[in-house]
A and B are shown apart, each in its own frame.
Chain A
Amino acid sequence: MRRLLAYLGHALRVLTLAGLVIHFALTLLYVFPLNPVKMELGLLTSLTIGTYFPQNWSLFAPTPVQSTQALLVRCLSTEEIPSAESNGLPSEGWEDVSSAHFAQAQRHRLSAYERLVRPLQNSLRQYLHGGPDLYPFHEACRKGDAAACQVRDTALQPRREQAARMFRKIGSAFCREAFPEKDFGAVALRFRERHAVPWSERHGGNPKEEDFELGVFKLDEEVALPGIYAAEGT
């Protein structure tokens, strides 16, 4: 009996060690860029590491973030909605929700502001690029691979819809909390990208800004309020 127990103990030790080696071999394969082995075993790594031990260490790599992405919100009263859809959106009254969070997070380092803005910022990044798994397809598409473009666009569609749902909730929470006395029916959302000043123009250059319309969404009347936009957010 003692010999059997000793044998089982040894077997268990060997098994755990082998499991550790296999686990980290698959982990390395999962986190590394696309290569021939990953093309062969990609499904296995997605089913194991991707499902139970997901990880991504590519923030600031291979290319660091080079622009500030911000969500602009324009709360629309019921009278403004038709004009927004037919004649374009109002040019005034847009609120930069992201930058307000950044300013507060920089003022209060040990606060929740940096964390609270993450769902918004990560959704903006997802809306724009779809996530790290689509980077190779973006790159291949940029080089003229039509099949890669199609795969990318198909994968992007549901992710953009998911991100847009997040924008709608955050925009609605902002409108309802920042202007509690007003009666809004919709929220218009705009995505602003403020590019870093290139190194060569660092002493006198100004950051270039680009705005993209995300659309007009029906106000979400049910979304819980965070309690930070009461004084116009910000």
Chain B
Amino acid sequence: MNHLLHKGWGWLANEPHQRQGLRALQVCLGLMLLFRASTEGRFASYLWGPTGIGAGSTLDFLHPRLAPIADRLFTVEQGPLLLVLVMGVSSVCLVFGWSTRIATAGALLSSLALASRLPELGDGGDNVARLVLTYMLFALPADRQPRRGSLEVWLHNISILAIGLQIGVLYLTSGFLKATGDKWSNGTAMYLISQVEWFSHPAMRAPFQNPYLTTLASYGTLFFQLWFPIAILTRLRLLWLAFGVVMHLGIATLMGLICFSVAMIGLELFLVTDKEYAWLSDWHQRTINPRLHALWRSRPVQALVQLSGQGQRFNDVLASRQRMTSTPPAHTDVMSSQTTPLRTEDR
């Protein structure tokens, strides 16, 4: 027990974790908010403006003295536009990793303010994004290299743990509630959802009349969600996360819940550890890249490319990439390579 506590304390105190996962989450949340800002921006007046359909107030979460001041933003036409602009700029910064802490604060404040004006607009994606952005305020900025064992490392790891726990709560609750519903346990839930126009593409209707597909999809969803908090602590983690990403891509395409799906994919990518990202990158370099190159060099593809007239430019890019990858890897002694004699002569 003591050993476990010591190990847990060390995990929190010494080194920052999930740096790559956090970047993936920042990129996904940035893309989600960018989608919102770019598509909803032109409707700002209709949704949140002084004569818009929104009539909410920040009074729900702000002090009664502060709320009227914050609500003034919605009494002028430019107020909601300004908030959408803040959301857009913050989302671009999150995607590119620029000043991520300030960008997180900007994204959070603009989302909170807009949601308070029109709470009916949000979905689960907006909800989880706001929670996670709050925890992300304590995470290290993307380019920061902190001192080992410092307080900011501790706070970063606490925020990482908070995001992880929030994902666990989300899946556990959703799975637990589904398990208590008879439509999920009798396997017809996915068929019923496929019949609802708001949540389903017409292309979903016929396939989900198949008893095998609808039962498998209903039980699969239930099983995936219920076991999620446990599976991600085992060797099945990557398999579970990959399934989650595929499932949410399906939700985005077939159900049209773009914001929700992008946020969930970000949360799934967040749970991949730094070691796993390094391993995946290495595997990609060793396995996928050579195959892609071989495919590119194959006669049918080259023939197609020559026909389209784009071949030479792509071949040039490929050749320059190969020159880059053929330079010595980082761990070899660069001084012993071709540049060494030149430097010696300089001296």
* Cβ of B193 under 8 Å from chain A: yes
Report whether A105 and B256 are in contact in the complex, using a CB–CB cutoff of 8 Å: yes
Report whether A68 and B155 are in contact in the complex, using a CB–CB cutoff of 8 Å: no
**Per a CB cutoff under 8 Å, which of A55, A59, A196, A224 touches B52?**
A224
**In the docked arrangement, what's the CA distance between A106 and B198, Å?**
9
**In the docked arrangement, what's the CA distance between A117 and B154, Å?**
43
User: What secondary structure prevails in chain B residues at the interface with A?
Assistant: helix
Report whether A58 and B196 are in contact in the complex, using a CB–CB cutoff of 8 Å: no
**With a CB–CB cut-off of 8 A, which chain B residues contact A13?**
12-13, 151, 154
**In the docked arrangement, what's the CA distance between A225 and B43, Å?**
9
Task: Find the A residue at minimum CB distance from B165.
Answer: A24
Select the residue from B36, B178, B182 with max chain A CB neighbours within 10 A.
B178
Report whether B192 and A64 are in contact in the complex, using a CB–CB cutoff of 8 Å: yes
**With a CB–CB cut-off of 8 A, which chain B residues contact A115?**
36, 39-40, 121, 259
**With a CB–CB cut-off of 8 A, which chain A residues contact B46?**
173, 224-227
**In the docked arrangement, what's the CA distance between A129 and B181, Å?**
17
Q: How many residues of A contact B (CB 8 A)?
A: 69
* Cβ of B176 under 8 Å from chain A: yes
Q: A13-B154, A51-B60, A99-B197 are in contact. Are A199 and B188 (CB under 8 A)?
A: yes
Task: Find the B residue at minimum CB distance from A126.
Answer: B120
**With a CB–CB cut-off of 8 A, which chain A residues contact B61?**
51-52
- Name the distance in Å between A143's Cβ and chain B's nearest Cβ: 16
Within 8 A of A (CB), among B5-46: 12-13, 35-36, 39-40, 42-43, 45-46
**With a CB–CB cut-off of 8 A, which chain B residues contact A119?**
47, 53-54, 118, 120-121
**With a CB–CB cut-off of 8 A, which chain B residues contact A180?**
none
Report whether A63 and B182 are in contact in the complex, using a CB–CB cutoff of 8 Å: yes
* Cβ of A27 under 8 Å from chain B: yes
Task: Find the A residue at minimum CB distance from B186.
Answer: A199
- Name the distance in Å between A198's Cβ and chain B's nearest Cβ: 9
* Cβ of B177 under 8 Å from chain A: yes
Report whether A58 and B177 are in contact in the complex, using a CB–CB cutoff of 8 Å: yes
**With a CB–CB cut-off of 8 A, which chain B residues contact A202?**
191, 209
* Cβ of B285 under 8 Å from chain A: no
**Per a CB cutoff under 8 Å, which of B13, B158, B174, B256 touches A58?**
B174
Q: A62-B180, A196-B196 are in contact. Are A110 and B202 (CB under 8 A)?
A: no
**With a CB–CB cut-off of 8 A, which chain A residues contact B161?**
20
Report whether B53 and A173 are in contact in the complex, using a CB–CB cutoff of 8 Å: yes
**With a CB–CB cut-off of 8 A, which chain B residues contact A60?**
178, 189, 193
**In the docked arrangement, what's the CA distance between A220 and B165, Å?**
46
* Cβ of A90 under 8 Å from chain B: no
* Cβ of A123 under 8 Å from chain B: yes
* Cβ of A65 under 8 Å from chain B: yes
Contact segment of A76-84, A150-158, A164-172: A164-172
* Cβ of A28 under 8 Å from chain B: yes
Report whether B52 and A63 are in contact in the complex, using a CB–CB cutoff of 8 Å: no
**With a CB–CB cut-off of 8 A, which chain B residues contact A110?**
35, 39, 258
* Cβ of B66 under 8 Å from chain A: no
Report whether A118 and B122 are in contact in the complex, using a CB–CB cutoff of 8 Å: yes
Within 8 A of B (CB), among A7-57: 9, 12-13, 16-17, 20, 23-24, 27-28, 31-33, 51-57
| 12 A-B residue pairs with CB within 8 Å | A13-B12, A31-B173, A33-B177, A51-B61, A57-B177, A106-B202, A112-B43, A114-B257, A115-B36, A118-B123, A119-B53, A224-B53
Binding site for A on B (CB under 8 A): 12-13, 35-36, 39-40, 42-43, 45-47, 49, 51-55, 60-61, 118, 120-124, 127-128, 131, 134, 151, 154-155, 158, 161-162, 165-166, 169-170, 172-174, 176-184, 188-189, 191-193, 195-199, 201-202, 209, 252-253, 256-259
Binding site for B on A (CB under 8 A): 9, 12-13, 16-17, 20, 23-24, 27-28, 31-33, 51-69, 98-99, 102, 105-106, 109-112, 114-119, 121-123, 126, 165-166, 169-170, 173, 194, 196-197, 199, 202-203, 207, 222-227
Beyond known contacts A51-B61, A55-B131, A57-B124: 4 more, CB 8 A cutoff: A13-B12, A68-B198, A166-B120, A173-B53
